[in-house]
């Protein structure tokens, strides 16, 4: 008897909730983009990315690539905002002693790559504009790699990586809001803030109808987009305003329920679509030679692969050495080193930062995009090898 369509849909959604799946779909989308950009499909690929639609009256007539970066990624960052709120309210980051290590590690993993990038690009102000690019860690991709190779790893390793990546993404959002906001329109910004207040009030009053929240979220996005603030900030803002703690009689709070519904769409559709529109770089001998000579591209590779490792591991060691934090139970420094290398998987957020930093220099944007892809693959492979090398020790520790 054939499986009913509704049951098939539920199985597909559950399939997308598996962490490895989202990362693999995103990787497949990036590979397809590279194929399209380096074959006779290039003309069609460029035409698709440049196709414009949307209401002109609302300043929302955008091309497909911009809709993916500004529109779809707002949903992705809403999910990130929910994760941040949940981690700080009831998760690992709600306890200061437990939170301090991943927070310090994330800060080190942002500062060291940025400094390394600035050192490499010193003397070239145009290249130096991209210093935020190597500060990002891709939550979905990093957790997917960990899930693939860390089957015997203690739960503390996943929690440490998730907490680190959540704080890292929060930092990336702050950088986007502070560095890439131009020609600020205060009226629209005030309107967005007022509607965020309405959203928070509705959460406080325990209103649950999506008939209120969906139009409200769209209006906040439109106002922020028109204000000059990058529209993805709308997602994080609304995520942080969503109630986390369940009321008496509720099994889960609204944040967990909404995240459970949106995460498969974010992992299985939204992020892959963005990866497909952002990763299409023409790779030729000339492109590779120019990338190797471009200090921005070199800075990104060094920042993500070397800077992240040194920053995360060094900051973690310093925090423990100064007795400000302690290693999670069951973890050794070799585990932290594996996570530190894996944190160099920038991908989604790094690609977004490339577009923002070099939007006026398409050639450099292509070179730095290529650098992000190469660095993310190198970091994920090296991180996977480092974590896999510990599998026997974790397997032995798990045995009774």
Q: What is the DSSP string of 19-41?
A: HHHHHHHHHHHHHHHHHHHTSTT
**249: region left, alpha or beta (phi > 0 left; psi from -120 to 50 alpha):** left
Architecture, CATH, for domain 20-180+230-394: Up-down Bundle (1.20)
What residues does each domain of the chain span?
A: 20-180+230-394
What pTM was estimated for this model as a whole? 0.82
Beta-carbon contacts of 383 under 8 Å, excluding residues fewer than 6 positions away, are: 142, 145, 338, 339, 341, 342, 343, 344, 345
* Rounded distance between C-alpha atoms, residue 220 and residue 222, angstroms: 6
Look at the alpha carbons of 204, 205, 210, 216 in this order and tell me if their dihedral is positive or negative: negative
Predicted confidence pLDDT, tens digits, the chain (400 residues): 445 555 545 554 454 455 567 778 888 898 999 999 999 999 999 999 999 998 888 778 899 999 998 899 899 889 888 888 888 888 777 777 777 898 999 999 999 999 999 999 998 999 999 999 999 888 777 877 887 776 667 777 888 888 888 888 888 888 888 888 777 888 999 999 999 999 999 999 999 899 999 999 999 999 998 888 888 889 989 999 999 999 888 888 899 899 888 888 888 889 899 999 988 888 888 888 999 999 999 999 999 999 999 999 999 999 999 988 888 777 889 989 999 999 999 888 899 899 989 988 989 999 999 999 999 999 999 998 988 887 766 555 555 5
């Amino acid at each position: 008897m054939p499986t009913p369509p509704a049951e098939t849909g539920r199985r597909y959604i559950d399939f997308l909730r598996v962490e490895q799946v989202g990362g693999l779909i995103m990787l497949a989308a990036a590979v397809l983009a590279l194929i399209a950009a380096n074959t006779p499909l290039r003309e069609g690929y460029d035409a698709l990315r440049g196709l414009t639609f949307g209401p002109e009256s609302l300043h929302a007539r955008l091309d497909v690539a911009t809709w993916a970066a500004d529109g779809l990624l707002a949903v992705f960052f809403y999910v990130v905002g929910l994760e941040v709120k949940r981690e700080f309210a009831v998760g690992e980051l709600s306890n200061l002693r437990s939170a301090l290590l991943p927070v310090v590690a994330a800060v080190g993993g942002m500062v060291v790559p940025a400094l390394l990038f600035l050192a490499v690009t010193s003397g070239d102000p145009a290249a130096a504009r991209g210093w935020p690019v190597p500060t990002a860690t891709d939550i979905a991709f990093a957790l997917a790699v960990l899930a693939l190779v860390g089957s015997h790893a203690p739960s503390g390793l996943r929690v440490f990586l998730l907490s680190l990546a959540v704080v890292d993404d929060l930092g990336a959002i702050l950088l986007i809001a502070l560095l890439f906001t131009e020609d600020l329109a205060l009226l629209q910004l005030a309107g967005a803030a007022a509607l965020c207040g309405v959203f928070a009030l509705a959460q406080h009053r325990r209103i649950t109808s999506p008939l209120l929240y969906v139009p409200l979220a769209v209006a906040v996005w439109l106002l922020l987009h028109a204000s000059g603030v990058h529209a993805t900030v709308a997602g994080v803002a609304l995520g942080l305003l969503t109630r986390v703690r369940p009321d008496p009689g509720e099994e889960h709070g609204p944040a967990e329920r909404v995240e459970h519904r949106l995460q498969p769409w974010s992992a299985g559709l939204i992020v892959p679509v963005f990866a497909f529109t952002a990763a299409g770089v023409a790779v030729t001998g000339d492109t590779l030679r120019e990338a190797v000579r471009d200090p921005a591209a070199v800075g990104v590779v060094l920042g993500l692969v070397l800077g992240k490792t040194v920053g995360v591991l060094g900051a973690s060691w310093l925090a423990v050495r100064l007795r400000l934090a302690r290693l999670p139970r069951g973890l050794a420094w070799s585990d932290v080193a594996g996570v530190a290398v894996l944190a160099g998987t920038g991908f989604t957020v790094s690609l977004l930062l490339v577009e923002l930093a070099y939007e006026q220099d398409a050639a450099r944007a292509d070179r730095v995009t290529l650098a992000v892809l190469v660095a993310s693959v190198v970091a994920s492979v090296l991180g996977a090898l480092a974590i896999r090398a510990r599998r026997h020790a974790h397997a032995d520790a798990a045995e009774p």
